[in-house]
Amino acid sequence: MKLVIGIVRPERANDVLTALHRAEVRGLSITRVQGHGGELERVETYRGTTVKMSLSEKVRFEVAVSDDFVDTTIDALLEGARTGEVGDGKIFVMPLERAIRIRTGEADVAAVTPVGGS
Amino acid sequence: MIALAHGLDPAATAWMFVATALVLLMTPALGLFYAGLVRSKNTLNTFMMCLGALGVVTVSFALVGYSLAFSHGNGFVGGLHDVFLRHVSFAPRAGTHIPELLYFTYQAAFCIVTAALVSGAVVERMRYGTFLIFLVVWSIVVYPVLAHWVWGGGWLETRGTLDFAGGVPVEMASGFSAFAAAIVVGARKDYGRQALLPHNAMFVLLGAGLLWFGWFGFNGGSGFGTGRPDVLAFVNTLLAPACTLVVWFVLDLVRDRRVTAVGAATAVIVGCVGITPAAGYVSPLWAMLLGALAALPSYAFILRRARTRLDETLDVLAAHGLAGLFGILFIGFFAQAKWNGVADGLLYGHAAQLGDQALAVLAAPVYAFAVTFAVLRLLGLVMPLRAGEREESVGLDVAEHGEEAYASGEGAILIRPEDGVTPPVAVVPA
């Protein structure tokens, strides 16, 4: 089992969701985060105050999958999130020690397999 | 005491001061209404399109537009007698008992809000600079011509077409211009691919409420006095939109078993638009029928339009074009000389009135659509109409204005003048 974390542009979040759905990756959660990854900084001016916005809005996907599904998930994230410009984000894959489905108490691979899935 | 100029009515003048300010409020109210309907990244840009109209359209209307609409000319357009407000002063405007300067200000507020309405078709993708230029051109070649037709001694007015507060130059003009603008500028890049939802329904409701408030000056002031037609128009501005709301609730319930807030805000606008041309011409009871019936075509059209490829984003055509057209035709059936002192409609034995109304319904949309289409096509030859795809993704608030509506301040580093930074700053990745 792995936890796949994808940090993507907010305007690509819908495309990522579509790509994951198409790849039949069903269980996921997202968070709005702010981050900095070396992209162009925005300069904004409010009356006399000029500021450099060093953090950009991002959306963080967390997907817990069985080992067989890791590459599918990564491919879907790449497909949905890539624009080719600096600032497209990152994907991190981490080992996942345990997973429990709260409703049934199922553990590990059974817990990360979608209901009705194989 | 200062003696009043001959022919001025102090009561009417006092009311028109208030009515003018009410109409002026409608433009920022429209800004709220529109800004709530777009995505959060385009909030400021959308509001700024309305604020832009308050700036540039006031100038163009004062310099040229007013004269083209309201000074003596031919049946099609007014003359140049009053350009730069040359002969506009304290003397009463012919046909009214208020100073012509005040009359001009009132009419300017109309032109401003009408031009701002067209922005609803192109929000979230049009370049701001190009839009300002479009506003200037539109407020010279479209609005004044149509205003002249019905109010400035033009051919429709001469024939006897009735338009109390702007079914022709305001509602049909903005609606059918928006239709043309949506076609020329094209759809947003995500349209039809993603759900593009209103980001703040409270702005939409607040904007609609303030628009309705302002509309009492818009309709109630369009008789330029304090007499019977003015009272009638004021009352009808409450009755008709209320009936539109009720019918809209029912339609929502039948369709989805739930009454929606954004739908209700739309209903308020549709009702106000519908009664606009007829406000001073139909009895209160017929105004209620007008409001109720006006809901039907707009409701049906909004549902239908969203399933097409036409990204007329905020449905100006449905809410203003169709409802305005409906109101203009309604006069032809239900106008009552007993109430308005001017003319009867078909129902009261004067079928010719319906013919005159139908003429406006045929001519005004064609003119507004064709000229707006041509203006934008020509503008598109000399400058880009749309923001780039990248800017559209990031949102026009940051891309066009360098500001955010909902800036958090986290990660904002103060730049002092001695840093000498000019946007945009590229930070090379480590």
| B170-192 residue pLDDT tens | 999 999 999 999 999 999 999 99
N-term to C-term CA, chain B = 77
Q: What digits encode the pLDDT tens for the residues B370-427?
A: 999 999 999 999 999 999 998 998 899 999 999 999 987 777 888 887 776 655 544 3
Q: What is the pLDDT of residue B430?
A: 32
**CA distances for B284 relative to A111, B80, B218, B263, B331, angstroms:** 66, 40, 17, 25, 13
Q: Is the pLDDT of residue B3 over 80?
A: no
Which of chain A's residues have a Cβ under 8 Å away from the Cβ of B387?
A: none
| Position with higher pLDDT, B39 vs B194 | B39
Which of chain A's residues have a Cβ under 8 Å away from the Cβ of B410?
A: 34, 55
Candidate from A106-110, B32-36, B122-126, B297-301 with smallest mean pLDDT: A106-110
Q: What is the pLDDT of residue B371?
A: 98
Q: What is the pLDDT of residue B330?
A: 98
Question: Which of B402, B407, B425 lies at the smallest CB-CB distance from A41?
Answer: B425
Q: Which residue of A has its CA nearest to B404?
A: A44
Which of chain A's residues have a Cβ under 8 Å away from the Cβ of B429?
A: 37-38, 86
**Domain ranges for chain A:** 2-112
B411 and A42 in contact by Cβ < 8 A?
no
Share of chain B above pLDDT 70, in %: 96
CATH fold of B10-390 reads Ammonium transporter fold (1.10.3430)
CA distance A60 to B57: 44
Instruction: State which residues of chain A have pLDDT below 50.
Output: 118
Half-sphere exposure of B60 (CA within 13 A, CB side): 23
Question: Please, are residues B364 and B171 in contact by the beta-carbon 8 Å criterion?
Answer: no
Q: What is the mean pLDDT of chain B?
A: 95
CATH fold of A2-112 reads Alpha-Beta Plaits (3.30.70)
> What mean pLDDT comes out for the span B86-102?
96
B402 and A86 in contact by Cβ < 8 A?
no
B403 and A43 in contact by Cβ < 8 A?
no
B415 and A50 in contact by Cβ < 8 A?
yes
A40 and B CB contact within 8 Å: yes
The DSSP bridge partners found for residue A64 are A3
Q: What sign results for the dihedral spanned by CA atoms A7, A11, A13, A17?
A: negative
Q: Is the pLDDT of residue B94 over 60?
A: yes
Read off the pLDDT band of B1 (50, 70, 90). very low
Q: Number of A to B CB contacts under 8 A, please give it.
A: 67
Read off the pLDDT band of B429 (50, 70, 90). very low
Q: What is the dihedral angle through the alpha carbons of B104, B99, B163, B232, rounded to the nearest 10 degrees?
A: 130
**ipTM given for this complex:** 0.80
Question: Which of B393, B410, B421 lies at the smallest CB-CB distance from A43?
Answer: B421
Which of chain A's residues have a Cβ under 8 Å away from the Cβ of B415?
A: 43, 50-52
